[in-house]
Amino acid sequence: MFSDLVGQDEPVETLRRAAGAAARVVAGEPVASGAMTHAWIFTGPPGAGRSLAARAFAAALQCERGGSGCGECHGCHTVLGKTHADVRFVVPEGLSIGVGEMRALVLRAASAPSGGRWQVVVIEDADRLTEAAGNALLKAIEEPPPRTVFLLCTPSTHPDDISVTIRSRCRLVALRQPPADAVAAALVARDAMPSDTAAWAAAAAQGDITRARLLAADSEARSRREAVLAVPKRLTGVGACFDVAATLVAAAKAEAAASVAEPDAAERSALEQALGAGGTGRGAAGAMRGAAGQIKDLEKRQKSRATRAQRDALDRALVDLAGFYRDVLITALRAPVAVVHGDVAAQSQAAAGKWTPESTLRRLEAVLACRESINQNVKPEIAVEAMMLSLWRG
Ligand SMILES: [Zn+2]
């Protein structure tokens, strides 16, 4: 289970020890105070394996073989399949996790574990908790029921991601970005990927193993990446900046729309079917009004999910773009580290010869500022246009 976490030896050791202590607690054996903790925060950059680590730990807590997380027993299997009765996963579909959802969760988490081990709540995007939801969670973390464990995943412990009070009550597992060669080795060993493809995909995905797998397997993902890496050379004037910005945002929208189309349609038809059983007898008018409300709710949730998918798609593009300017910078400075986008090395070398390191750094900062703006709800079109102009001017 833990072996799926690439290049994270130290955090894995911490989690193994805690899971061992948790197993001794379940067995009624004495453990040192602090050996097991009720609230954890998993941090790390995208692809470092935050939710993977939380899931592996949840499985180890339910593992029937001494908390080893064997990956083979019934406990481990059901956690992995997300069907374990005592492990709940909170994955926000929209932009935030609301207080209603959190209160219901905290209430259920307070009950005794049905399997006799632990009640585990995994919150996969704890940075999307609303303030009220965070407060509801904080209360539960402050006075945890004896067998309840909260596992929170968030990019960092910055106050924008998680409140200082919640942070202060949790034990921290800081995952790092795994080195590209470790990711490549894992792709060769586990996916039987040819080593040259694995090396290229691991570097291009900047250590994110899920994205590396996608880049290796999906030609559409590869052409989207190529289009993003072609952005710098297309910026030849103000008009081009606006054109390229519009194309980039449109591509993110199209990618997002494709990813939500199927679940949207399935949810809508399931709801319509459920409502269609209403009939036309007495009370039908009231039922109709209720139905309209439910459809509106669904549309609202779907819109929120679409917005999030769009932002995620745009963010992936910006990470690729930032990688390019980083490559230009390390090439100009002759830094002894490998480039991210080896396949466009000629382009980053040419740029390194043309731009000063200072202007490259300003470009890199413009990409990071754009990510930040979008994160803070600036309209993507506006943030991306401003970025393109900065990238062109340098
Ligand atoms: Zn097991």
Asked if residue 27 lies in contact with residue 37, where contact means CB atoms within 8 angstroms, the answer is: no
Mean pLDDT of 381-394: 96
For residue 54, how far is its CA from the centre of ligand 1 (angstroms)? 15
pLDDT digits (tens, 9 = 90+) for 103-132: 988 888 888 899 889 999 999 989 888 889
User: Ligand 1 mean position to 317 CA, how many Å?
Assistant: 38
For the purposes of burial, counting CB atoms within 10 Å of the CB of 174, is it exposed (0-12), middle (13-18) or buried (19 or more)? middle
Tokens of 290: 């209720």
* Inter-CA distances, 268 with 229, 250, 280, 290, Å: 37, 25, 21, 15
pLDDT in the model for residue 331: 96
Nearest-angstrom CA–CA distance, 380 and 164: 29
pLDDT tier at 308, thresholds 50, 70, 90: confident
| Ligand 1 centroid – CA 109 distance (Å) | 22
Are the beta carbons of 183 and 45 closer than 8 angstroms? no
Strands (E), the chain: 39-43, 87-90, 119-123, 148-154, 171-174
Distance 78 CA to ligand 1 centre (A): 10
Confidence check: pLDDT of 280 > 60: no
* 188 Cα–ligand 1 center, Å: 26
Ligand 1 centroid distance, CA of 3 (Å): 13
Residue 205 carries which DSSP code? Answer: T
Centre of ligand 1 to C-alpha 89, Å, is: 19
Around ion ligand 1, residues with a beta carbon closer than 5 Å are 63, 65, 70, 73, 76
Model confidence pLDDT, tens digit, residues 57-110: 999 999 999 888 999 999 999 999 999 999 999 887 677 788 888 898 888 888
DSSP 274-294: HHHTT-SSTTHHHHHHHHHHH
Percent of the chain at pLDDT exceeding 90? 62
Question: Is the pLDDT score of 151 beyond 90?
Answer: yes
CA 392 / ligand 1 centre spacing (Å): 54
Asked if the model's pLDDT at residue 287 lies above 80, the reply is no
60 CA to middle of ligand 1, Å? 6
Helix H, strand E, coil C: the string for 311-351 is: HHHHHHHHHHHHHHHHHHHHHHCCCCCCCCCHHHHHHHHHH
Pick the closest to residue 89 from 126, 44, 37, 124 (CA basis). 124
Separation of CA 29 and ligand 1 centre (Å): 19
Residue 335 pLDDT exceeds 70: yes
